[in-house]
Every structure is written in C-alpha cells, then in structure tokens.
Structure 1
Amino acid sequence: MQVFKSLKHWLVLGLGAALVCNTPAQTPVEATPPKLPNVVILATGGTIAGTGATSTTTVGYTAAKVGVEQLIDAVPALKQVANVRGEQVFQVASENMTNDLWLKLARRVNELLARSDVDGIVITHGTDTLEETAYFLDLVVKSEKPVVLVGAMRPSTAISADGPINLYNATILAGSKEAVGKGVLVVLNDQINSARDVTKTNTSTADTFRAPDLGFLGYMQDNRAHFYRAPLRKHTQETEFDISKLDSLPKVDIVYGYENVSRVPIDALVGAGDKGIVYAGVGDGSVHKDIMPALMDARKKGVIVLRGARVGSGIVARNGEVNDDKYDFVVSDTLNPQKARILLMLALTRTDDTKEIQRMFAIY
C-alpha cells in the first residue's frame, strides 16, 4: 500500500511537471507607449530666432531670422515629449510689436485652442515685450488649455544659446495637465511665471524674468513642471473681454514721471486723441505739482487718467498720494505701467466709467 501511494504521488508530480513543460510560453505583452500631447508652436520672431556674426556674439545680433521649422528641428527631443507642429504667425523683433499683431495672434490662439486635437500652445517671442504680449493674451484667451510664452536671451547661433532648452521646457509645460487652468504662463531659465506678475528685470542675463512682488509659480525640472502656487486674479476664460469682433484697440499711452517733468507730452497725447493716459509716477504714483493740472484737464476732456508707478514693485494706493475720488482717477494696483496700459485698453472696449474700470483693476 505504501508503495502504491508513493507511486501515485510520483505519477501526479510527473504529470504536473509534464503539463508545465508542455505549456506554451506566454508572449510578453508590450507596454503601450504613453499618448503624447498635441502642442502647436506659434513663432513670432525675437532673439530665440536670432542670429549673430559668430558663436560668441551675444549682443549686437539680428533678431527674428530663423523660421519655426528650423527652431523645431534644432531640438529633436521635442518629438519625445509632444506631437509638435509649427506655424510662423509673423516674424518681428519684439520691440516692433503692435496692437494689430496682438489681435492677429490672439485670434489664432483662440482658433487653435477650440480644436479637440490641440492640447496646448507654445509661443516663441522676443523678450523685450514678451511680458506685455503674455498679459494681453492672459486677458483675452478663451480656454483653460495651457498657453506658454518662451524666448531667449542669447541668439540661436551663440555657443551658450538658451533657446533650445527654453523651447523644450515650454513644450513640456504646454502639454502638461499641471498647467491647465493656470492662465498664460512664461517659462525661461527653468522658471515658471504668471503672465500678470512677470517682468523683464535685466537687459542681458538669462535670469532676467522675475515676479518682484509675488515670485515664481514653479520650476521646470526632470522633464516636468513643479508648481508651488497658482495665480488668483481672474484670467483667460474668466474675463469679460472679447476681441473676436475688434478691429483695433483704444489708444492709450504712458507718460513717465521724473524731476522737473513737463506737461507737454500729456497735452500732446490728449491732442492726438488718446482715450487713456497711464501716468507712471514716482514713489507711490505721486504726481508732480506741475503735472496735476494737465491730468485734470485731460480728465475733463473725457480721457481716462490712470495713476501707476515707475518703481516696479508694490501696490499703488487709491487715495494715497492723490485724492483719486476727487479727480476721478483710476489706480493700477500692482500692475506695472506697461501692463496697466494693456488692461486699460481692454477696459475701454467695455466702458468709460472709471468706477467700473477700477473694479477691473481689482480683479484682473
């Protein structure tokens, strides 16, 4: 009986082994590659598309020379992080940016973001007015999909060109879920900034873009975005501004405050038909005693007068240095003069009521 049990035991073991040995090998299942986001790169010119005489030329180069396809081809790694395609919207050095070009760019951005096969947009841009274009788009883009502006401080031909890594980071950011709903963003030097807060702070260094009051939103590192805060002011699809039917923007200019300032530029702008004037005053938007009569005269003629500050940081206090209620002025909050001008232009497409305009400066 014991022998039978042992024999039966080994037969079972042998049959099991045979079944194991004769079982067909399982074919390894290949991992499905992650679906890449669809990112459109809109090129507008600037230093990122610039060329210099030599590989060591980092100043005195020619901006806006390289086309969008060359920019994309120069960074082969882009194809590993997104399905990219490019469009040359226009090709200018950004000091030559105009309202008409802004409207053209904004319309194209809104057209693309309305498509289901576009997940995000990168805009290559010169750094001189990049912060202005970014804030304009932040107020008129009608989508929560990411829009990322990117530039470079050195031309594409420089031995230390920063354009390729900036473009690579911008493409990752534009295709990321983390950037959705955070408004228009600016990324250079591995740093993510809000369009509203960022400004160019240095004429030539790679770390020029900063947010003096409120700081970066986050960083680009190890091929992904790391956010530490989000912008709270209303932006993009939350705004009341619609440029779809606009052929132009109201004329608004900036007058700079300084010692012994003259009223001549204010009078000239009023005479030229300006709808609004941003006075970039000293300190907390203080107004020179010889300028106050000019601003009062401008307001009497229906021109919106907005007090800003040339300082570059801090809140301009309403009824602080000037009795704004008395003179029916508007103040800029924390917006620098060039961004206050943008919001005032867009506000004037909706109303000329100073109380309504001040409300907009409190929420955007």
Structure 2
Amino acid sequence: MSKQFPQAVRTMLCGFLFMFAAAAVQAQTTAKLPNVTILATGGTIAGTGATSTTTVGYTAATVGVQSLIAAVPEIAKVANVTGEQVFQIASENISDAQWLQLAKRVNVLLAQPNVDGIVITHGTDTLEETAYFLHLTVKSRKPVVLVGSMRPSTALSADGPINLYNAVRLAGTPEAAGRGVLVAMNDQIHSARDVTKANTTTTDTFRTSELGVIGYIQGGKPFFYRNVVRNHTLDTEFDVSKLDALPQVDVAYAYANVGDVAVNALVAAGARGLVHAGVGNGSLPAKTKPALVKARKDGVVIVRASRVGQGIVARNGEANDDELDFVVADTLSPQKARILLMLALTKTTDTKNIQRMFYTY
C-alpha cells in the first residue's frame, strides 16, 4: 500500500492539473470571443402558434430573450452573449417613445468597452423603420444588427434561430463596424437606409431591390460586397440623449381621385411635418395641392415622397419645390422620410437645411 500511495497521489495531481489546464484553455477561448448583447423587443421571432404548422394567425411577442438565446446553443461557440428584454411588443405597436428608449440604451451599451456589438430582435412590420431611426441616432461605429423572422418560434422550419445566429456572427465581426445599422435576414446583409419589407409572409421578404444587398452570410461568415456611402451613426447631427419626445410628423397617401381630407385632418391634429406619398415622381394631385400649399404657409414642413418604392424624387420635377418651399425625399420611402423629417425638426425648421439633410442621409 505504501508503494501505491505515491502513485495514487501522482494520478490525482495529474487529474487536477488536466482539469485546470482544460479550464484555462476554455477561459482563454471564451475571452477571445466577441461580446455581443442581444436586446429583445418582441415580434414574430418571439412568437408562438397553436401548432407547428401555424405560420399565420400566431401570437407575437410571447417568448423572452433568455429562451430565444437558449434555443440556439450554437451561439455560445461564436460569441459571449448576454440578453436584455427592452420591451415585448408586436412591432406594429412601436412608438416614438420606444424608439428613443431603444436608441439611448444602445448608445449606453456601445460606450462600454466590454460590448463589441449589439443584436436587436424585432418584429418585421416596422423593422426597417426602427433600423433607420437607429442608423441616424446611434453614436458608435460598433456593429448594430436588427433581426427578425417571418415564422414564429414554434413553426416547422422556423427562420428565427438561423437568423439570430447569423445576426450574432455579424455583430461580432470587426468587418461590420463602421457600416451603420444593418439588417440580417435570410442569409443576406442589408443597410438600414435602403432595405424594406417587400412580401407579406415569405421568408425572403426583406429586400434592397434596386441598390442591392451589401453582403451575404454563408456558413456563418459575413461577406461584404459594397459600402454604405450616405452618412450615418457618428457622422449624423442628431443627438437623442436629451430628447423625451419627437415632433409629430405624419404621412398622407396619394391615389386616384384623392382629395384634401387626409392632409387637412393631419394638420388639424397637430402635425409639424407632413410627408406626401405621391404617385409616380411624387406628383401632387390637383385636389390635394392647395391643402399642402396652405399647410406650408401655416408653418408645416412638407416633404414630397413617392409611393412607388424605388427611384429619386426629383426636386422641381413634378412640382416647383423652390417656389412652394417644399422638400423632396430623394430615394427614401415615405415611412423613412418621416423618420428623417422628425429628427430634422429637432434641429431646424429651415427647409433648405432640411433638404440638405435629405441629400446627406
């Protein structure tokens, strides 16, 4: 026994040393991974359906952030992830106040040295709008990635888990830094400025149809193919840190035989800015134009946009914008023009300055 005891001790010591060495290697590996914070806001990606084949008529925003993370254990191999439930809503209900809350929280987190990137889970209905708002108000070059899904978490072939995994990989990638806020859906990388939801139900709904995606995610690795050239994030003049509310800006939609009812009602309801989603190249219908002209004379800033979805709204094209003192939306959709006008009105009411912003961002 006396001869065996030293051998047993040596075996035990070797076992302890092996465990310590393995723990050290694991700690070193974990330390090398990027630190990504997931901010959850609800949406379909956090939704549940009555059965595994329920892909419409499900309930959005029922699954918490920790459950979302736990459902994709592969994330732990590519990032040190922490989760935070900012709010839990279907995205058609998101408000200006929640945009401000989210932007402020993102800026606080990105200012911390132990946060390398942020992923925001979001409902798809207004994901493009939240993304563009953050694109203009985040004050960091660290990656911010919005992600959602078109199928609830309980559905067969749910797209949420792979979208979330890809978003975390993207947010932890140094090459994603300095590109503004990104959207990661369906293995594609979009710029927040240009992407839109283009289909009611299919998983390839997010598209940048005219200008194109800026990259792809293949095998969990991001590949970039074009840059974002319009100013964003640190290069904008917008600071929401001290804002508690945003100016009221509404959208009036044009169509055949449209009148002035919507414009007059929105102005009467207190709109400080109005985006006219015109037909074609932002044309002004004869029955609507007088109401828009009057609204501008009464101090409401008017932006001419187009409901078409692609192309530049030409200044002094379908209307004499110089004479009317109107602003044109450039290539922004009406819903994104509304966001930029809201932020612009926190700085100025001068239409020449606001037009400069539309050509800058």
Tell me if TM exceeds 0.5.
Answer: yes
Identity of aligned residues (%): 69
The structure 1 residue matched to 2:175, chosen from 156, 173, 178, is 178
* 4+ runs deviating over 4 angstroms: none
What are the equivalent positions in structure 2 for 1:143-154 lying under 5 Å apart?
A: 143-154=140-151
Q: Which residue of 2 aligns with 1:336?
A: 333
Separation (CA, whole Å) in 2 of partners of 1:37 and 1:330: 43
Secondary structure at the aligned position of 1:362 is classed as helix
Instruction: Tell me whether 1:101 sits opposite 2:98 in the alignment.
Output: yes
**1:161 and 1:147 mapped to 2: Cα distance?**
23
1:125 match: 122
Q: Does 2:164 correspond to 1:167? A: yes
Please report how far the alpha carbon of residue 213 of structure 1 lies from its aligned counterpart in structure 2 after TM superposition. 2.0
Which residue, 241, 244, 253 being the options, matches 2:241? 244
Q: Quick one: distance in 2 between partners of 1:230 and 1:68?
A: 31
For residue 361 of structure 1, what is the aligned residue in structure 2?
A: 358
Amino acid across the alignment from 1:165 = I
Task: Give the TM-score normalised by structure 1.
Answer: 0.91
- In structure 2, C-alpha distance between the alignment counterparts of 1:256 and 1:171, rounded to whole Å: 37
The whole-number CA distance in structure 1 between the counterparts of 2:143 and 2:202 is: 26
Structure 1 position 260 matched with structure 2 position 257: yes
Alpha-carbon shift at residue 212 of structure 1 (Å):
2.1
The structure 2 residue matched to 1:137, chosen from 131, 134, 137, is 134
CA distance in 1, matches of 2:128, 2:29: 37
* Partner residue, 1:213: 210
The SS at the match of 1:100 is helix
Match of 1:321 among 296, 318, 326: 318
Distance 1:224 1:112 in 2: 24
Take 1:60 and 1:118, find their aligned partners in 2: how far apart are those partners?
37
Give a deviation string over 1:272-304, Cα, whole Å, max 9, x none.
111000000000000101111000000010000
Q: 2:227 aligns with which of 230, 240, 243?
A: 230
Instruction: Report matched runs for 1:53-92 at 5 Å.
Output: 53-92=50-89
CA distance in 1, matches of 2:221, 2:55: 29
Deviations 1:207-254 (A, max 9, x none): 000112210000001221100001100000100000000010000000
**Match of residue 154 from structure 2:** 157
Distance between the aligned counterparts of 2:51 and 2:305, measured in 1? Answer: 42
Aligned partner of 2:287 in structure 1 is 290
| CA offset digits 1:47-103 (Å, max 9, x no partner) | 000000000000000000000000000000000000001000000000001000000
In structure 2, the partner of 1:3 is none
Work out the CA distance in 1 between the residues paired with 2:278 and 2:218. Answer: 39
When normalised by structure 2's length, the TM-score is 0.92
Aligned to 1:48, the other structure's residue is in SS state helix
Report deviation, 1:315.
0.4
Per the alignment, residue 33 of structure 1 pairs with 29
Q: In structure 1, the residue corresponding to 2:174 is in which secondary structure?
A: coil
The alignment status of 1:281 with 2:278, answered yes or no, reads: yes
Does residue 50 (structure 1) correspond to residue 47 (structure 2)? The answer is yes
Q: CA RMSD in A?
A: 1.4
2:113 aligned residue: 116
Q: Larger C-alpha radius of gyration, 1 or 2?
A: 1
The alignment status of 1:272 with 2:262, answered yes or no, reads: no
Instruction: Kindly provide the CA deviation profile for residues 124-162 of structure 1, in whole angstroms up to 9, marking residues without a partner as x.
Output: 000000000000000000000000000000000001100
SS in 2 for 1:121: strand
Report deviation, 1:33.
Answer: 3.5
CA distance in 1, matches of 2:348, 2:210: 29
Secondary structure of 2:38 counterpart:
strand
CA distance in 2, matches of 1:140, 1:121: 14
Moved more, 213-222 or 116-125: 213-222
Distance 2:276 2:262 in 1: 11
Match among 347, 350, 357 for residue 350 of structure 1? 347
Return the alpha-carbon distance in structure 2 between the equivalents of residues 273 and 58 of structure 1.
Answer: 39
- Give me the whole-angstrom Cα distance separating, in 2, the residues matched to 1:96 and 1:198: 20
> Which moved further from structure 2: 269-278 or 148-157?
269-278
Aligned length: 337
- DSSP 3-state at the match of 2:277: strand
Instruction: Return the letter of the residue paired with 1:285.
Output: G
